[in-house]
A and B are shown apart, each in its own frame.
Chain A
């Protein structure tokens, strides 16, 4: 992984310790102070050139190695993602605009992302288009020199706080449903957009419905080619080969458990401590599978099957570790302030983990991708 990456890990941990309260559980809570913490932390990262570390220098980044990017992913997720929703803008909205945006789109959107000032949401899923994304029906029709967009998106994270939406809509009906889709960059402040939050077990701001009622956009809001959106979406997914470093939070909480429980750790059933050891083993396994993909990424030769195998392993790990940790804190509730914080972290982890095999491409889709790779002619 190298010295630069190891040094970066230390720097990030120090910054988290200095700037993020010990009981921080993410930016998306009912307490506005948490969002402020995330925004402040993004400014700190941006000042040090750490927010867009992976971006090319011309856009305010540092051209960091894939290993440094891995360290950022791990440390941020391990500490409840103190960047808030920024990872979406930084990890793929920005890079996609760099690649497909016009000069005007690049100068308009990239600097605010690099400064951590703007939140993006992703307008992909619809009530009848989840894993089968290309079936989406939100439609954009030509209107003079622009477009009118109508339709509904669902499960849209951060839509209540986002300033911009990376929206996928149907612009024509063609032979294949993957054809005729186009990406629009639309401002969420437009009155033709209505956001309705959905109460859910992950907490506020995670799931929303977004309605577009004859939203007027211009040609300048189209990203890439009209009807060429599917290709861009595939690229977006390739930016997210490794995705969230879920193993980092699992491992951090599993490591902390005996420290927080103290002598009560020894009273846990042997079988539970065995499951704890097994979960730690699978943390290592998921991490190494991720590193295999990262190393291949570094060589420019990621095999789709490897990325899918990692994602299957890590999402299952998320749920398994959540069950083990919940049983640990249930069997011997830890005391004191550290114990209180740990119980909240574990409970939060458990709720989040329920979605890990569904969010960002379901585990079934990953299995289909892996099976395709395995059964392809050798």
Chain B
């Protein structure tokens, strides 16, 4: 088990954070919403400059870690582009990206991009996917649109694991930001003659959020390692990560909104944008209940396998 990201990956993530900031930061998603037809143009040069599409997330542990760090940085600024989905593209199909789908209405946050997609279900059924014209403007849809699928094969188990894990890193970046914003707000905003941060009721909410965020970070590192090591239980680990991510998101965004008060709902507050644009990754392909249900069904009578030493954990009585 490896629970540490390499220093190179961490440094790459920091560079990406700065590059997105320099390219517009919070303004990126706002511009994309105003001009959805140009959303790719805004971020494509930054991603190219970062060498994003040269990263081989499937071949090399270091590059997978760099890809995860890039997703996290993109999430921090709610970058309006499917970075995780593109980094997870299948190695063998010549498409531009991978979207995990489930249920009867396959969809993804890939509206309005001239890209070729592969879709994969959690049980590994792959299809070629074409993005349908969006049924609603991004203000309502956050770029989610339906996908028309043409079945291909059933060889996508590893695709599904990676396709679930990388968007969780994006969501982790969003939670990093939500907590940073909440922290900054309570340190500055005064009520009853003192900063909100001095109220224990405020502090305790913040700590509830941080426990969720830091726990998610560790789960994300574990699942990244599990997938890279091609463990047979990598998909279970990816679902466990997704479950932790969705639970964390619910707590963190609830706390961040509550501590911001009314200003957090306003368009002038970055929180309102991060919060709205976190919706696609939190609802698709499986929401909280569906993720928990699928994980429980896959586990059946076997608990999660844990590989914390050199051997897999086994039941002892």
Chain A residues in contact with chain B, CB under 8 A?
A: 1-3, 5-6, 9, 13, 17, 22, 71, 78, 251-252, 254-256, 258-259, 265, 270, 273-274, 276-278, 280-289, 291-292, 295, 305-306, 308-309, 312-313, 338, 364, 367-368, 370-371, 374-375
Asked if B295 and A281 sit within 8 Å, CB to CB, the answer is: yes
9 inter-chain pairs at a CB distance below 8 angstroms, sorted by A residue, are A1-B310, A254-B303, A280-B240, A281-B304, A291-B218, A367-B203, A367-B204, A374-B210, A375-B187
B204 touches A371 (CB 8 A): yes
A281–B311 CA distance with the chains assembled, in angstroms: 19
Structural contact, A9 and B210, CB atoms closer than 8 A: no
Q: Which B-chain residue is minimally distant from A342 (CB atoms)?
A: B317
Q: Is the CB of B293 within 8 A of A274?
A: yes
- A53 → chain B, closest Cβ, in Å? 16
Cβ contact of A259, chosen from B289, B301, B313, cutoff 8 A: B301
The residue on B at minimum CB distance from A16 is B316
Shortest C-beta distance, A124 to chain B (Å), equals: 24
B292 touches A295 (CB 8 A): no
Q: How near does chain A come to B214, taking the closest CB pair, in angstroms?
A: 5
| CB-CB contacts below 8 Å: B270-317 with A | 289, 292-293, 295-296, 299-304, 306, 308-311, 313, 315-317
User: What is the 8 Å Cβ interface bit string for chain B, positions 187-230, against chain A (1 contact, 0 not)?
Assistant: 10000000001001001101100110011101101100000000
A273 surroundings in chain B (CB, below 8 A)? 296
Are B214 and A309 within 8 A (Cβ)? Answer: yes
The residue in A254, A276, A284 that gathers the most chain B C-beta atoms within 10 A of its C-beta is A284
A368 touches B306 (CB 8 A): no
A290 to B5, CA, bound (A): 17
Distance in angstroms between the alpha carbons of A367 and B211 in the assembled complex: 10
Q: Name B315's contact: one of A255, A313, A370 (CB within 8 Å).
A: A255
Given A285-B219, A312-B207, A312-B211, A258-B317 contact (CB < 8 Å): no
Alpha-carbon gap, A295 to B216, bound state (A): 17
Complex Cα distance, B283 from A4, in Å, reads 43
Complex alpha-carbon distance, A374 and B187, angstroms: 11
Partner of A22, one of B211, B315, B317: B317
Contacts A291-B3, A338-B317, A375-B183 given; indicate if A285 touches B215 (C-beta within 8 A).
Answer: yes
Which one of A256, A284, A295, A306 lies within 8 Å of B306 (CB-CB)? A284
- B23 touches A (CB below 8 Å): no
How close is A331's CB to chain B, nearest CB, in angstroms?
Answer: 15
Give chain B residues whose Cβ lies under 8 Å from the Cβ of A276.
296
What is the distance, in angstroms, from B182's C-beta to the closest C-beta of chain A? 10
Q: Are B183 and A374 in contact (CB-based, < 8 A)?
A: yes
B243 at interface, CB cutoff 8 A: yes
CB-based nearest B residue for A288: B218
* Docked complex Cα distance between A370 and B205 (Å): 11
Is A277's CB under 8 angstroms from B243's CB?
Answer: yes
Q: Could you tell me the distance in whole angstroms from the C-beta of B207 to the nearest C-beta in chain A?
A: 4
- Our pick among A1, A256, A292 for the contact of B309 (Cβ within 8 Å) is A1
Please name all residues of chain B whose beta carbon is closer than 8 Å to the beta carbon of A338 when the two chains form the complex: 317
Residue of A nearest to B183 (CB): A374
Residues of B within 8 A of A375 (CB): 183, 186-187, 197, 203, 206
Residues on the A chain within 8 Å of B1, using CB:
1
B18 at the interface (CB under 8 A from A): no
CA distance A308 to B208 in the complex (A): 11
- Chain B residues proximal to chain A, CB less than 8 Å: 1, 3-4, 183, 186-187, 197, 200, 203-204, 206-207, 210-211, 214-216, 218-219, 221-222, 240, 243-244, 247, 289, 292-293, 295-296, 299-304, 306, 308-311, 313, 315-317
Q: Which residues of B contact A368 (CB under 8 A)?
A: 200, 203
The interface centre, meaning the residue of A1, A313, A367 with most chain B CB atoms within 10 A of its CB, is A367
Q: Report, nearest first, the 10 A-B pairs whose CB atoms are least far apart.
A: A6-B309, A288-B218, A371-B203, A258-B301, A277-B296, A255-B303, A285-B215, A6-B310, A274-B292, A370-B207
B64: min CB distance to chain A, Å: 18
A256 to B197, CA, bound (A): 44
Contact (Cβ within 8 A) B243 A278: yes
Question: Which A residues touch B183, using CB under 8 A?
Answer: 374-375
Task: Determine whether the beta carbon of A292 is less than 8 Å from that of B206.
Answer: no
B316 engages A288 (CB within 8 Å): no
Please indicate the chain A residues that have their CB under 8 angstroms from the CB of B214 in the complex.
289, 292, 306, 309
Docked Cα-Cα span, A270 to B308, in Å, equals 29
User: Closest Cβ of chain B: how far from A150's Cβ, in Å?
Assistant: 35
Which of A270, A285, A288 has a CB less than 8 Å from the CB of B293? A270
Query: Which A residues are in CB contact (< 8 Å) with B210?
Result: 305, 309, 370, 374
Nearest CB of chain B from residue A364's CB, rounded to whole Å:
8
Other CB < 8 Å A-B pairs besides A6-B311, A256-B317, A289-B218, 20 of them? A1-B1, A255-B313, A258-B303, A265-B301, A270-B296, A277-B292, A281-B219, A284-B306, A285-B219, A287-B306, A289-B214, A291-B308, A292-B214, A312-B211, A338-B317, A364-B204, A367-B204, A375-B183, A375-B186, A375-B206
Report the bound CA distance from A371 to B1 in whole Å.
30
List, in ascending order, chain A residues with CB within 8 A of B304's CB: 277, 280-281, 283-284
Complex: A370 Cα to B209 Cα, angstroms: 11
A281 and B244 contacting across the interface, CB-CB below 8 Å: yes
The chain A residue sitting closest to B222, CB to CB, is: A288
